[in-house]
Chains A and B, each alone.
Chain A
Amino acid sequence: MKKYDLMLGSVLLAFCMLYGYLASQMNVRISTYPMFVVTVLAILILVLLVRTCMKNTADENFKLFGKVQKKQFSIVLGLCFLYVLLIDMVGFYTTTVIYLGASLFGLKVKKSYILITTLGFSTFLYLVFDIMLKVPTPKGIIF
């Protein structure tokens, strides 16, 4: 975990510097509090980095993302991204049906279950959000 904590600390420190820079560009009347908060954050990150450096390296072989099923994870994340991207263009319910079907297929669910889950869950969402709660879901070009 040591390597990853150092990585985390470095990324967060870079974020602090960017945030501090942006805050310094603002009017001093509104930037004092953000500057104070980011300074505290930077100090805490430095404490994390120092403590991590002082740790022994017993877990050197530990891989944070070692057990991640890369292909499966990419499919899920990719489909989630496409789903959100297409909602406004195609319409919420059409996109939901396509997303559910594609995801279940990608996750190797039996065909009969794909059909039942996709239709059943889309109908459930329609009944709860459209009929019951009257949420004006994006219609897009289809539905």
Chain B
Amino acid sequence: MSDVIFGFSQAFTFTNFLAAFASVAVGIMIGALPGLSAAMGVALLIPVTFGMPKDAALITLIGIYCGAIYGGSITAILIHTPGTPAAAATAIDGYQLTLKGSPGKALGTATIASFCGGILSAISLYLFSPPLAKLALNFGPAEYFWLSIFGLTIIAGVSSNSMIKGLISGCLGLVFSTIGMDPMLGEARFTFDISYLLSGLPFTAVLIGLFSMSQVLVLAESKIQKKSQSANVKDSLLLTVSEMKRITPTVIRSWVIGNIVGILPGAGASIASFLGYNEAKRFSKYKEEFGKGSIEAIAGSEAANNAVTGGSLIPTLTLGIPGESVTAVLLGGLLLQGLQPGPDLFTAHAKVTYTVFAGFILVNILMLVLGLFGCNWFAKIARLPDSILIPTIFALSVIGAYAINNSIEDVWIMFIFGIIGYFFTKFKLNPAAFILALILGPIGETGLRRTLIMHHGDIAPLFSSTISWVLIILSLLSLLSPIFMSKVEKLEGKIEKG
């Protein structure tokens, strides 16, 4: 309890407050810009946070994450262009309200629902993280091997359009993770006598290349068009008491949905928002308003996608299994700060962890304030043309890749993986699965080989513990998850068609 209180006192220090404020503002801008994703924003900002204190650095990355998920709703509502895929469901009714001359009401609903979803998800973060982290204390090498397999199957199986391509992406990541020194014997593998490669591929440079530079190339391949003029918000963003009463049950329902979807790795904010929307419609007394500008619809999708943020941090921080691509990138930021997911975060680094948790709450409060007072301004930023975004994002990618190790070789690696990332996008491979495999590969390999060495090559100990079997079953279930996901996608299609 003392760590929790300490966390609150630390989160509100000037440095952390400033970090939270700036990161939420930047996150909202990134989210509001169609074509830029939350994962890209976090990847770009990791190098900036490298020199910061651990708590401020992580609050910054979480601020970008939460801000970007919310920011997507601004352009979804004002110009019918979701800034992020998570805001696609919001665009349906949000834009209808804008057409009816009430963009303020739509934005106000989205902001309040996002805030509630985010804040409520903090409760699960506080409640579920420590016991789950304690579970990791029982993990031996065999369990870590199966954990890495589980991590790979979930993200590869669920977040890609094609499961086989997701698995191929994950396997490619495993292949690239073998570059460098052998983790057990220290001998060089696939280094071609280049000493730079002995420590393996620079993780942050690969990350920036795959998520940021590839986006530059994706933007560059399309004809640059002038972005639509957004509607001016003239009506009030504040909701009346009766409107608040009307959206409250929806927000609570969507919080539960978003949290569960967030904790279950692989699904992500966009799926949660459609589920939230659908459940809002199912329970609403005003079903006929859906698709024509319903505030319950906006609240349903926005509360759900923001509730994912807290939920998805739980498996990321406790087991090192990110729920979606943004948290996979965020995990990179955590490792770069020298923090390992698991029980240590709640014992040796408890003060930092609880400061970050309190920072998560602060970030959501600031999101509410910035959203209510600055959405007009963010809407203007969203009109920044791609012709300006392309060179500025690339320049940031270059300095970001360079800044971690002050190495020009890292910039070249970023460049190469930027091109690889572009082809990943074109061929519908999954960069998040690749990155996750790059992180989990050495953990899995060490776990497997350590188990085999300890038992003189006998594979039976890999299957000897209950935790191993639970992880094996979960891995198999996650491979079956595409069946569930195809049903959700059908549901999304139905909703979009109205």
| Known interface pairs A44-B168, A104-B387; A133-B50 also in contact (CB < 8 Å) | yes
| Chain A interface mostly | helix
Where the two chains meet, the residues of B that have a C-beta atom closer than 8 Å to any C-beta of A are: 48, 50-51, 164-165, 167-168, 171-172, 174-175, 178, 182, 185, 187, 189-190, 213, 216-217, 220-224, 385, 387-388, 390-392, 394-396, 398-399, 402-403, 406, 408, 411-412, 415, 418, 426-427, 429, 445, 448-449
Mark each residue of chain A from 1 to 32: 1 if its CB lies under 8 Å from any CB of chain B, else 0. 00011001000100000010011001101110
In whole angstroms, what is the CA distance A48 to B162 when docked? 10
In whole angstroms, what is the CA distance A96 to B395 when docked? 7
B143 to chain A, nearest CB (A): 18
Q: Is the CB of A30 within 8 A of B182?
A: yes
Residues 98-136 of A at the B interface (beta carbon under 8 Å): 99-100, 103-104, 107-109, 113, 117, 121, 125, 128-129, 133-136
| Known interface pairs A8-B427, A77-B220, A137-B399; A88-B175 also in contact (CB < 8 Å) | no
Count, A-B residue pairs, CB within 8 A: 143
A47 to chain B, nearest CB (A): 6
Q: Is the CB of B403 within 8 A of A129?
A: yes
Q: Is the CB of A48 within 8 A of B164?
A: yes
The reply on A58 being an interface residue by CB < 8 A is no
Specify which of B189, B394, B396 is in contact with A34 (CB 8 Å cutoff). Answer: B189
Closest 5 CB pairs of A and B: A103-B391, A107-B387, A76-B220, A41-B171, A68-B221
Specify which of A34, A79, A125 is in contact with B399 (CB 8 Å cutoff). Answer: A125
In whole angstroms, what is the CA distance A5 to B428 when docked? 10
CB-CB < 8 A to B395: which residues of A? 83, 96, 99-100, 121, 125
| Known interface pairs A100-B391, A137-B399; A73-B172 also in contact (CB < 8 Å) | no
Where the two chains meet, the residues of A that have a C-beta atom closer than 8 Å to any C-beta of B are: 4-5, 8, 12, 19, 22-23, 26-27, 29-31, 33-34, 37-38, 40-41, 44-45, 47-48, 51, 64-65, 67-69, 72-73, 76-77, 79-81, 83-84, 87-88, 92, 96, 99-100, 103-104, 107-109, 113, 117, 121, 125, 128-129, 133-138
B196 to chain A, nearest CB (A): 14
| Known interface pairs A27-B187, A84-B398, A108-B387; A47-B164 also in contact (CB < 8 Å) | yes
Q: Is the CB of A80 within 8 A of B415?
A: yes
